[in-house]
Amino acid sequence: MAFGPFLFLALLEGTVMAAVLALTAIGLSLVFGVMRVVNVAHGEFFMLGAVTAWFVTHYLPFPPAIGWLAALLIAPLVVGAIAWLADVFVLKRLKYDPEATIVATIGLLYILQQTALTFYGPDARPVEPPFNLRLQFPWFGYSGYKLFVVLAAGLILLGVWAFMTRTKAGLVMRATQVDMETARAFGINVDRVYAGTFALGAALAAAAAVLIVPIQQAHYLMGHDPLLLSFIVVIIGGLGSLRGTLVAALIIGLSDGVISMFFSPTLAKIIATLLVALVLVFRPQGLFGAKT
Amino acid sequence: MMLKVEGLSAGYGNITILRDLSFQAQAGEVTCIMGRNGAGKSTLMKAIMGLVPASAGTITLNGKAVQSLPAHKVPMEGIAYVPQGRRLFGPLTVAENIEVGLLARKKGAKTRDFVLDLFPRLRERLDQVSSTLSGGEQQMLAIARALCLEPQVLLLDEPTEGLQPSMIQLIRDTVLSLRKTGMATVLVEQRVDAVLKMSDRVCFMAHGRVEAEVATGDLGPQSSLFRQFVGV
Ligand SMILES: Nc1ncnc2c1ncn2[C@@H]1O[C@H](COP(=O)(O)OP(=O)(O)OP(=O)(O)O)[C@@H](O)[C@H]1O
Ligand SMILES: [Mg+2]
């Protein structure tokens, strides 16, 4: 293939990656921004989303398209509910202490992972894509579903943005993020905001996983990569900055796509990690983070 | 109608700051709290709001106990708070800060218009990010945000701290006009002239207690209580 089309293909792959990564990382960023909790179990919520999607499409007697749509609704709800419980029974009891919650979410990571291993098993299992459409470019064919993933992720992100800026619940979350004591003095039930934020963050990771699972297969260890990449994105973008998270996801996703295709996936990860190191040294608050 | 605090003890963690503290604030009156730095004035405001847990004593509003309510339920009873240092939701716009104030007691456009008529300068800046307001405008917004609750009791913690004279005058005029509406105002204030002009009663605090409670009419600028409790 000539250089031009090859670059085009790499950019396409990078865009798909960026879209899913943005969706996953925005959940992590939201949780850190509002609650000051570093959720090490975030990747496991992603994994649970994919595994739930497999259960839903496998056991519900629907054609692939309906089954997948059902999964896109059910998986975020199920995973959000699990996160809600984890908040109420674990994080709240630790009074959201920043250090204690890191340790607790590491514990949560292993609990969720081993639970998935027990009930789902060690195999990677495919989920049927909702439709099979091949787009024929002059130089190569490309999965129509992958482009649909970009569109769907974009729409969900737009929904998150509208929720945060246009709704009362979003306003309450932003006020709590700024100053939870004053938020309380204005009638905001901070406990409920925290539980809701943790659930929303997990639900977004689950939605990202449902989008990706027809491409990647569901596996109980699949949470590692999204966790690492989400952390990279959130650190580069600036902890708690949603705009920064989006921009960083685009940078990391595109560069990963291009470098993986032209050189190797390992080099892509090395460069992403180097980028984090550079940001931490020269701009520790991230590209869009506020100085503290 | 009144706010009544009796035998209140409260503090942070294991440290007790307020000890067996009692005072009352009546409707249509301004009750001033005076005391040296660290006397516990702000802690008292936070304890009334439920932000600092009470370990003993009662806080009642019109006879209803509020000290055992979760903090977010206290404002719903009609107690509004203007914290020391304003504590606006800085990255949020003026309009959004007002909106948060309206949420607690589900107030709507009427209340919003009332507070914006009170501070026309805020109406001109509704879309401005509140942390970029001038100090005086920020204080107006902090008061406006509290008034959005249409409270029965308004707690003001040093609302004129760090402001220039014309702005101080405006805040004082506002407090006096609110008194006429029958609101009970609790005002933490350090300046003797302001206290004499604005208040109906003065509570002098030291070491986490109200040591003296006096009708303002019985005080003069030279009163020894000021020297004893504020050091002027
Ligand atoms: N979050 C906190 N944790 C522990 N101690 C605190 C805390 N906040 C205040 N204190 C202590 O409580 C005491 C009373 O503080 P408070 O802020 O109530 O005083 P104040 O009368 O409002 O003083 P100022 O005039 O300076 O505003 C002080 O000794 C202070 O150090
Ligand atoms: Mg104070």
pLDDT at A289: 76
pLDDT at A53: 97
Helix (H) / strand (E) element for B3: namely strand B2-12
Please check whether residue A292 lies inside any domain of the structure. Answer: no
Interface predicted TM-score (ipTM) of this complex, two decimals: 0.94
The model's confidence at residue A20, banded by pLDDT at 50, 70 and 90, is very high
**Mean of pLDDT values over A42-46:** 98
- Evaluate if residue A288 carries a pLDDT over 90: no
pLDDT at B162: 86
Please check whether residue A288 lies inside any domain of the structure. Answer: no
Please check whether residue A289 lies inside any domain of the structure. Answer: no
- Evaluate if residue A3 carries a pLDDT over 70: yes
**Which domains are present in chain B?**
1-78+151-162+171-232 (3.40.50.300), 87-149 (no CATH)
Indicate which of B43, B72, B115, B148 best probes the interface with A, i.e. most A CBs within 10 Å of its own CB: B72
Q: How far apart are CA B103 and CA A218, in angstroms?
A: 43
Interface touch A190/B49, C-beta < 8 Å: no
Most informative mutation of B12, B17, B186 for ligand 1 (most atoms within 8 A of CB)? B17
pLDDT at A291: 55
Q: How far apart are CA B30 and CA B154, in angstroms?
A: 9
pLDDT tens per residue across all 232 residues of chain B: 689 999 999 999 889 999 999 999 999 999 999 999 999 999 999 999 999 999 999 999 999 999 999 999 999 999 999 999 999 999 999 999 999 999 999 999 999 999 999 999 999 999 999 999 999 999 999 999 999 999 999 999 999 988 988 889 999 999 999 999 999 999 999 888 888 888 999 999 999 999 999 998 888 888 888 888 887 6
- Evaluate if residue A292 carries a pLDDT over 70: no
* Pocket lining: B41 vs ligand 1, CB cutoff 6 Å: yes
Please check whether residue A287 lies inside any domain of the structure. Answer: no
Q: What is the distance in angstroms between the Cα of A155 and the nearest Cα belonging to chain B? A: 25
Residues A238, A287: contact at Cβ < 8 Å?
A: yes
pLDDT at B231: 79
For B92, list phi and psi in degrees, rounded to 5. -85, 155
Beta-sheet strand order (sheet of B2-12)? B15-26, B2-12, B54-61, B64-65
> How many distinct structural domains can be found in chain A?
1
Say whether residue B87 is in contact with chain A using an 8 A CB cutoff. yes
Helix (H) / strand (E) element for B209: namely strand B209-215
Contacts of B105 in chain A (CB under 8 A): 187
Q: Side chain identity at B82, as an amino acid letter? A: V
Of A171, A184, A187, the CB nearest to B96: A171
Quickly tell me which residue has 């449902």 as its tokens. Answer: A210
Name the residue range of residue A105's domain: 3-282
Q: How far apart are CA A230 and CA B50, in angstroms?
A: 38
Please check whether residue A191 lies inside any domain of the structure. Answer: yes
CATH code for the domain of A48: 1.10.3470
Q: Side chain identity at A265, as an amino acid letter? A: P
Which residues partner with A233 through β-bridges?
A: none
The angle subtended at Cα B175 by Cα B97 and Cα B187, nearest 5°, is 90
Say whether residue A171 is in contact with chain B using an 8 A CB cutoff. yes
| pLDDT tens column, A173-190 | 999 999 999 999 999 999
- Evaluate if residue A138 carries a pLDDT over 70: yes
Residues B187, B160: contact at Cβ < 8 Å?
A: no
Residues B153, B183: contact at Cβ < 8 Å?
A: yes
Q: What is the distance in angstroms between the Cα of A182 and the nearest Cα belonging to chain B? A: 7
Q: Other C-beta atoms within 10 Å of A283: how many?
A: 14
Say whether residue A190 is in contact with chain B using an 8 A CB cutoff. yes
* Pocket lining: B15 vs ligand 1, CB cutoff 6 Å: yes
pLDDT at A238: 87
Q: Other C-beta atoms within 10 Å of A99: how many?
A: 9
Q: How far apart are CA B172 and CA A69, in angstroms?
A: 60
Nearest to B97 by CA among B70, B131, B71: B131
For B20, list phi and psi in degrees, rounded to 5. 50, 55
Give one DSSP letter per residue of B8-72, joined into a string. EEEEETTEEEEEEEEEEEETT-EEEEEE-TTSSHHHHHHHHTTSS-EEEEEEEETTEE-TTS-GG
* Residue whose CA is at the smallest distance from ligand 1 atom 17: B42
Provide the percentage of residues in chain A whose pLDDT is more than 70: 99
The angle subtended at Cα B65 by Cα B145 and Cα B26, nearest 5°, is 60
Q: How far apart are CA A135 and CA B143, in angstroms?
A: 60
| pLDDT tens column, A60-107 | 998 989 999 999 999 999 999 999 999 999 999 999 999 999 999 999
Nearest to A28 by CA among A163, A228, A172: A228
Structure-token pair, residue B43? 């802690």
Nearest to B133 by CA among B144, B148, B117: B144
Interface touch A179/B145, C-beta < 8 Å: no
Q: How far apart are CA B146 and CA A105, in angstroms?
A: 37
Ligand 2 ion: nearby residues, β-carbon < 5 Å? B 41-42, 84
Which residues partner with B206 through β-bridges?
A: B209
Model confidence, pTM: 0.93
* Pocket lining: B84 vs ligand 1, CB cutoff 6 Å: yes
**Cβ-proximal residues to B178 (8 Å cutoff; 6+ apart), any chain:** B147, B154, B185
Contacts of A178 in chain B (CB under 8 A): 89-92
Structure-token pair, residue B65? 């106990």
Nearest to B76 by CA among B135, B132, B150, B127: B150
| pLDDT tens column, A203-245 | 999 999 999 999 999 999 999 999 999 999 999 998 778 889 9
**Mean of pLDDT values over A278-286:** 88
For A148, list phi and psi in degrees, rounded to 5. -65, -35
Contacts of A238 in chain B (CB under 8 A): none
* Pocket lining: B16 vs ligand 1, CB cutoff 6 Å: no
Cα B48 to the chain's mean position, in Å? 10
Please check whether residue A28 lies inside any domain of the structure. Answer: yes
| pLDDT tens column, A244-266 | 999 999 999 999 989 998 999 88
Q: How far apart are CA B28 and CA B114, in angstroms?
A: 19
Burial zone of A155 (CB within 10 Å; 0-12 exposed, 13-18 middle, 19+ buried): exposed
Please check whether residue A290 lies inside any domain of the structure. Answer: no
Note every long-range contact of A59-68, with CB atoms under 8 Å and residues 24 or more positions apart, other chains counting. A64/A128, A64/A129, A64/A130, A64/A131, A65/A130, A65/A131, A67/A128, A67/A130, A68/A127, A68/A128, A68/A129, A68/A130, A68/A210, A68/A214
Structure-token pair, residue B90? 């800085």
The model's confidence at residue A148, banded by pLDDT at 50, 70 and 90, is very high
Q: Other C-beta atoms within 10 Å of A122: how many?
A: 9
